Chain A
Amino acid sequence: MRAPITMLAAGAALAAAALAGCEENLPPPVVPAPPPPSAEAAADPIPSAKPDLGAPRAFEPAAPAVYKAPNGLTVWLLERHALPMVSVTLALPYGSASDPEGKAGLASITANMLDEGAGGRDAVALSSAINDLGASLTTGAGVDGSTVSLVVLKKNFKPAFEIFSDVVARPRFDDKEWKRVSSLWRNDLAKRAQDPVAVSRVVISAALYGRGSPYGHPSSGLVSTAAKIDLAAVKGFYAGHYRPDQATLVVAGDVTRAELDAVLAASLEGWKAPAKAAPAPPAGKPLASPPGLVLVDRPDAPQSVLAFVREGVAASDPKAPPLDLVNTALGGSFTSRLNQDLREEHGWSYGAGSRFAETRGTGAFIAQASVVTEATGQALTAMLADLDKMAKGGLTADEFGKVRAQDRADLVQAYETVGSTSQRLGTLAVLGLGPTFDAGASRARQQASKAELDTLAAAVAPRGTIVVVGPAAAVLPQLEAAKLGKPELFDAEGNPMKAGGARPAAKKKAPAKKK
């Protein structure tokens, strides 16, 4: 929600100190002398100064009705009758952090299996039934939770909710479907090694949290352990974690409480929690000393995917909302420092950004950019300098005003569609944050003083792990020239490569391509 730029690629500036210097006083960048006004310009009636604006209207997102269904299921209902649409999300606080040791991806593949046959329908019949209603049904697992979502027109809400309920409460886990699903899954995991952005994500979590910790592996799983997961493990995970007493059903759109309660009673009342106590959702914690510099070789790649990652905060930490403001200024929107520096000033990248990951346990702070290969060293140096400058100097007065205005605007837009509303509320449910968290967080942000933000900004200091996914032969000399140290080589699955393994020999020069 507070990441207006979806993980843009980031690059960094070279002459860090000097550049960052002019960035500090953000506004007028070096502008060439204005051309002499032409006759046309003189004639035009557009005022030369930008208009003054009135005050924005205050806004508070509507709070959902919260209640418990007879089977212990928590319901958040936000009625919205402007369009004949309903969006539903069932959220459970068990995601890949709950994967058992050696079974990375179990939560994810369990979620994938839910709609491969449920209730009276096999996989094909279920998919057809949903599509016949013009509905879409998706299942999935993230780090901290699993979700099942439905979007449907109001006129088809009832029959679609029945199928949705089958998927949640009565999945069949047929062996026949498992053979196909598990084989497609393993192929997808193997394919991931060719996607540099996905590889970067895998390596970031491995480097920051370490393998074996709850957040140390990708939610989608690992090639090495996927083959060890069988259908029995899937059934076991489902039985232990999909329980109404731990679930929240988020419903947003054109439906009343009475209509919802009727379908709940008809379709989901039989879903009961097991007698056994519910497992506690695990929370990740970063390694005490993660590696400093990690390189994944991607021979001949035209760009390097750069990431800097360090320990952030838990989503429930009172520091999280104000830190979002710091991040907005640093890497959270188009005019943020990272994007301006790596993209607009230097043209090294299509975009650069940063974010604090929203997680139940201690999250990550991540800055990212895809940069043209020959600028890898310069861009990294600049990125780190941008972080350092923010950590030490905090926000400018202009930035302080801007990020609060953006926060107010984001709050209006985050809940504009029923889809985004149920998705966002589902995330809040997964994280245990409560249905009015965003309004409260925004209030906290609006009340934060600049001095407070400037102090908090130390959280982005560039002490952490650099991850580069790029061509080693071209990148290694640049890392050396930038005095970033010797990288540890990792493979695409996030494992350190054994010494003496395929260590590419450092060449003297990056292929100097004129750009």
Chain B
Amino acid sequence: MRMRSLAPVLALAAALAPRAASAADVKVDIPFTKTQLPNGLTVILHEDHTLPLVAVNTMVRVGSRFEEPGRTGFAHLFEHLMFMGTARAPTKMFDAWMESAGGSNNAWTSEDRTDYFDVGPANTLPLLLWLEADRFSSIGREMTQQKLDAQRDVVRNERRQTTENRPYGKAEIHLPELAYPAGHPYHHPVIGSHEDLQAATVDDVKTFFARWYVPKNSSLVVAGDFDPARARAEIERLFGWIPSPEVTQVPAPPAPRLTGVVRETMADDVKLPKIIMAWHSPARFAPGDAELDLAGSILQEGKASRLYKALVYDNPLAQDVRAEQRSQDLSSLFVIEVVAQPGVPLDKLEAAIDAEVAKLAASPPSGEELRRAQNQFETGFVSRLQSVNERASLLNIYQMAVGDPGYADKDLARYRAATAAQVQATVKATLDPNARVIIRVVPKEAPAAAPAQPGGGK
């Protein structure tokens, strides 16, 4: 996921892969009304007068997987361009007017979605809606070379700052290239390559806007302290006229499959080596998705978790362990990342990771382990209801994913319903030792150890 700017408010990262819990009586409920304008725009309203705040969230069903060949990074670059001004709100005025009224904004792009959000004092709602309607109806036709060039440089610096100049960052953006075959929509990272960013043209912007940024492909949420009747009328007036061509459906690619172990060793400016393993896994909300979220928690959360206990607590092998299901629309990746302690042979570390994964594939987690994971997800779900901005985002995430903005409680129910046997079966079916990507990141200066044999590793 790529953000427009590094703002603090954005603990949003987790939002795409909903985290929930299990057990007990807590209900995760966000009251809302949903309508569809005649042009196809989905409109979701959530009223809450606790604080004099309002949030506007606009989500578009487009992301890096919809990009044309040779244009990697374009969906995210486009997200930046949405702030570059129109005839009515000239360059810089989108932000200037919003901030002058006390509002703030940001946006993110993932493989599957692009999301724009504004938060401001309750009195700013007319301005927020006006600014959004303006850019969502006219940014394509207003695009210029100058605007494109400006954000292209910003985005290339985003790439440098968030990956190239960060320890282990280069491996992170290389992972999808190893996991998915060339031509697969998930083959490239959201941020894209410098070459492709450089190649983008004003015509590309206009075409992309006309194709994807249309009411039928978008959903608008207004949340917080406002009058729903007045907001609805205003939305109908400002957005209802926007023409909506049919959205061409993109054919789904064949499910990605690995038939062996794809290995790569990368040198980076790091002190401690790192092992990254990735497996293809079920799509977001597909059977197995919640089970793998739970498996991730069982493997990495807390000192009693399988990987921490075995690799850090009982044996000084790893400095840091992570295991998580990274959910996506078409299919997902389950990723384990482990940083080695100094001097630990990577073959030994890899074998230790494999042993823990194999145990979870061979027998179900204990009831205690499962409940522990479920309870943590439950708290996570409730936590996300705290801010009006996050509730706005959740309503849109669920609308886009399952067509039901109020899906949060059903989402949580997936975690509550998962059984230990299901977790084991999913781990067994998914985390196949003979079908995965294994990246080793090693210190630049150190001579790389003898290249591991493809398919081997034990």
Q: Is B one of A's binding partners?
A: yes
Q: Which residues of A are interface residues toward B (Cβ below 8 A)?
A: 3-9, 26-29, 31-32, 34-35, 37-38, 40-41, 43-51, 53-57, 59, 82-85, 123-128, 130-136, 151-153, 155, 180, 183-184, 187-188, 190-191, 193-196, 298, 300-303, 305, 333-335, 339-340, 343-351, 370-372, 398, 401-402, 405-406, 408-409, 412-413, 416-419, 515
| Closest residue of A by beta carbon distance from B371 | A132
B133 part of interface (Cβ distance < 8 Å) = yes
Assess whether A416 is in contact with B53, with CB atoms less than 8 Å apart.
yes
The answer to whether A127 and B382 touch across the interface, beta carbons within 8 angstroms, is: no
Determine whether the beta carbon of A32 is less than 8 Å from that of B271. Answer: no
Which residues of chain B (93-116) have a CB below 8 Å from chain A? 93, 95-97, 99-105
The reply to whether A124 and B7 form a contact with Cβ atoms under 8 Å apart is no
Let me know if A53 and B126 touch, CB within 8 A: yes
Query: Whose C-beta in chain B lies nearest to the C-beta of A56?
Result: B121
On chain B, the residues within 8 Å of A190 by CB distance are 271, 342
B-chain residues with CB within 8 Å of residue A409 when the two chains form the complex: 102-104, 120-121
> Contacts A5-B6, A84-B382, A372-B153 given; 7 further ones with Cβ under 8 A?
A7-B6, A41-B87, A44-B138, A130-B302, A194-B269, A344-B154, A418-B386
Taking a contact as CB atoms under 8 Å apart, the answer to whether B153 and A417 are in contact is no
Once A187-B341, A370-B157 are accepted as A-B contacts, the answer to whether A416 and B162 lie under 8 Å apart by CB is no
The 6 tightest CB contacts between A and B, nearest first, are: A347-B153, A409-B102, A134-B375, A417-B386, A127-B303, A134-B379
CB distance from B239 to the nearest CB of A (A): 9
Identify which of A29, A194, A349 gathers the most chain B CB atoms within 10 Å of its CB.
A194
B101 and A53: CB pair below 8 A?
Answer: yes
Flag B141-168 by CB within 8 Å of A: 1 or 0 each: 1101010011111101110111011110
Min C-beta distance of B130 to chain A, whole Å: 5
Q: What residues of chain B lie closer than 8 Å to A59, measured between beta carbons? A: 51-52
Q: Which residues of B contact A151 (CB under 8 A)?
A: 379, 383
| Contact between B271 and A416, CB atoms less than 8 A apart | no
Binary A-proximity of B113-146 (CB < 8 A = 1, otherwise 0)? 0000001111110110011011001100110101
Indicate which residue in B104, B130, B382 contacts A4 across the interface (CB closer than 8 Å).
Answer: B104
The reply to whether A303 and B8 contact each other, CB–CB distance below 8 Å, is no
Q: Are B26's CB and A153's CB within 8 A?
A: yes
Q: Kindly state whether residue B270 has any CB partner on chain A within 8 Å.
A: yes
A46 touches B162 (CB 8 A): no
Q: A131-B372, A155-B26, A194-B270 are in contact. Are A51 and B150 (CB under 8 A)?
A: no
Inter-chain contact B91/A29, CB cutoff 8 Å: yes
Please give the residue numbers on chain B whose beta carbons come within 8 Å of chain A beta carbons, in ascending order.
5-9, 21, 24-26, 50-53, 85, 87-93, 95-97, 99-105, 119-124, 126-127, 130-131, 133-134, 137-138, 141-142, 144, 146, 149-154, 156-158, 160-162, 164-167, 225, 237-238, 241-243, 269-272, 301-304, 309, 312-313, 316, 319, 341-342, 368, 371-372, 375-379, 382-383, 385-388
Residues of chain B contacted by A26 (CB below 8 angstroms): 96
Closest residue of A by beta carbon distance from B241:
A45
List of A residues within 8 angstroms of B387 by Cβ: 416-417
Residue contact B167 to A191, C-beta cutoff 8 Å: yes
Q: Which of A50, A124, A131, A152 is close to B301, meaning CB atoms less than 8 Å apart?
A: A131
User: Can you show 21 pairs from A to B with CB atoms below 8 A apart?
Assistant: A5-B8, A7-B6, A9-B157, A27-B93, A45-B238, A50-B88, A53-B126, A83-B386, A136-B376, A187-B272, A298-B269, A344-B154, A347-B149, A347-B153, A350-B161, A350-B162, A370-B157, A402-B96, A412-B51, A412-B121, A515-B156
